[in-house]
Amino acid sequence: MQIVGTDPIIHIENFGMNFGKNVVIDDLSFDVFRGETFGFLGSNGSGKTTTIRALLGIYQASAGVLQVFGREFSPEEGGKLGYLPEERGLYKKESVIDVMSYFGRLKGMQRESASAWSMNYLERVALADKAKVRLDKLSSGQQQKVQLGVTLMNDPELLILDEPTKGFDPVNRRLLMDMIDERKRAGATVLMVTHQMEEVERLCDRVILLKDGKSRAYGSISDVQDQFGNEVIAVKSTNTIPASSNYQILQQEQDGSKLRAREGVTPQVILRELVEAGVEIEKFVPTKPSLDEIFIQVYGDENPWGQV
**pLDDT string in tens for the chain (308-residue length):** 444 556 799 999 999 999 988 999 999 999 999 999 999 998 878 899 999 999 999 999 999 999 999 999 988 777 789 998 877 677 888 999 999 999 999 888 899 999 999 999 999 999 999 999 999 999 888 888 999 999 999 889 999 998 888 778 888 888 888 888 898 889 999 999 887 788 888 889 999 999 989 999 999 988 888 887 667 899 999 889 999 999 999 888 887 899 988 888 889 999 999 999 999 999 999 888 888 888 877 876 554 444 33
- How far is it, in rounded angstroms, from Cα 129 to Cα 212? 45
Identical topology for domains 8-225 and 230-287: no
Q: What letter does residue 186 receive in the DSSP assignment?
A: T
The predicted model scores a pTM of 0.80
Inter-residue contact 208 to 3 (CB < 8 Å): no
Can you list the positions of beta strands (E) in 20-111?
Answer: 22-33, 37-42, 63-68, 81-84
Does 230-287 carry CATH code 1.10.3470? no
Domains of the chain, by residue range, sit at 8-225, 230-287
CATH fold for domain 8-225: Rossmann fold (3.40.50)
Adjacent-strand bridge partners of 158? 81, 189
Inter-residue contact 142 to 130 (CB < 8 Å): yes
